[in-house]
Amino acid sequence: MSKFAVTNANTGEVEKEFDSVPVEEIPDYIDRAHEAFLSWKDTPLHERAAILRTFADLVDDNADRMTDIIGREMGKIKKQGFAEVDKVARTARWMADNAAANLAPTHLEAAGAASSYVEHQPLGVLLGIMPWNFPYNQIARFVLPNLMVGNTIMMKQASICPESSQLFEDLLTEAGLPKGVYQNIYLDSSHAEEVLKDFRVKGFSLTGSEGAGASVAAIAAKYYKRAVLELGGNDPAVVLDSQDVPALAQKLVGLRLANAGQVCTSPKRFIVVDDLYDEFLAETIKAVEATKISTFDDPEVGMGPVSSEAARDEIVERIQKAVTDGATLHTGGEKLDRPGWFMSPAVLSDIDPKSDLGCNELFGPAVMVYRAKDEEDALRLANDTEYGLMSSVWTDDLEKGQAFASKVNAGMTLINGHMESGPEYPFGGINRSGYGRENAQWAFQAFTNEHLIRVHA
């Protein structure tokens, strides 16, 4: 059974507990969502947009409160918390401003009829299953475009983020969203099938682990449900050349240690060409060791705690296992003797690409540096993975970077950037990283009925 509780990642203390929804009450949530859908789907688009804009204003007004909650729930430091909250407001406004253009009928060739066009119609009730690492933004990326579409949402957030998930609903309600259109539900993970088997529930979006994705996708397939999956990644950051290696190493370390390394798109494998490798590794170690580990509200904090005790202990254990398997640990990778779920960030090299750490995502503060003989070898290493979420190429030669980027097997490749997302461009991966896309026009049409209408005179 899922236990919904706020366990302060900075202290280890349980602050609040919430009861899971009894299985017999799940149909009541679906009833409310379906009844709300029958009217929400016919609500004019400009009225839906007005609610999202008001919601964005409320998010701005509550930024301090929202940031404090997730700082306690999962340890996100304040600077990064404010950035996440700001992105939620920006996403709400973008979806409100761009829905009309993206949901307008698509006109096709008449092809023997007087006219042919496709209407993008809402499907109905959707289930969201979202993770703890971006407690607000993960919800926003799925929910806000679908509210504009006219779908209604039941949201199961991670069990360690019960307060932030309820606040998201509260702010939408305050913004004027009708009852039942969006419902936070403290749903036990084992009861997902109780939701998805109901005919009125038309699909789900899940961001999380591969195991969770495979499990829920199997249930969805059983009941013919639409799905978007955003799972893990073992994302490469490929360094081909640089005129300032120390600055680049510091930038990449900062990206990797953001959110204590607990980001699906975090640059988990630094792949560096041979002539830069030794200097880059040395500068990486310096940057990691200079990072201040502290509580989320320390003004000078560089990295906060890991989200939970279990997560911290698993990260440390896997780093130790990597060393046993032949990897070199240069610094860090240990539990810190203090309250809360703190550890020292690690730097590893000499990792066997076929080992656990080489093949599988490590969701935590471990910088892994690989040596590539040349550009061709760097591409080989970058593509030597069963994932395919985000990747990046770092070079002063943009033409070379673009040529390299097009050969990387990933859903997203950035040149001289990494770990970026925004409502204006698509987000998603391939292979073990999942399927489907969020953001931009893809967000509006992931859960619509592409309804063809042909008119014969």
Q: Which of 159, 155, 162 is nearest to 138 (CA)?
A: 155
Q: 226 CB contacts (<8 Å, ≥6 apart)? A: 123, 202, 203, 204, 220, 446, 447
- What's the CA gap between 457 and 453, in Å, rounded? 13
Catalytic: 230? Answer: yes
State residue 402 phi and psi, 5-degree precision.
Answer: -65, -40
Query: Which residue in the list 169, 230, 283, 361 is annotated as catalytic?
Result: 230
Please report which residue ranges of 348-421 form alpha helices under DSSP H. 356-359, 375-382, 398-405
- What's the CA gap between 419 and 263, in Å, rounded? 8
The encoded tokens of residue 337 equal: 């003797």
Please report which residue ranges of 104-196 form alpha helices under DSSP H. 137-149, 162-174, 192-196
Query: Which residue in the list 84, 264, 283, 438 is annotated as catalytic?
Result: 264
**Residue with tokens 């403290």, as numbered in its chain:** 186
The secondary element (H helix, E strand) that includes residue 261 is none
Catalytic: 161? Answer: no
CA dihedral 443, 84, 56, 166 (to 10 degrees): 90
The SS3 call for residue 153 is: strand
- What's the CA gap between 59 and 37, in Å, rounded? 24
Rg of the Cα atoms in the chain: 23
Instruction: Find the distance separating the first CA and the last CA of the chain, reported in whole Å.
Output: 59
| Amino acid found at 217 | A
Q: Which of 78, 65, 15 is nearest to 298 (CA)?
A: 78
| Residue 429, CA atoms < 13 Å, CB-side half-sphere | 25
Angle between helices 78-103 and 63-74 (to 10 degrees): 120
Return the active site residues: 230, 264
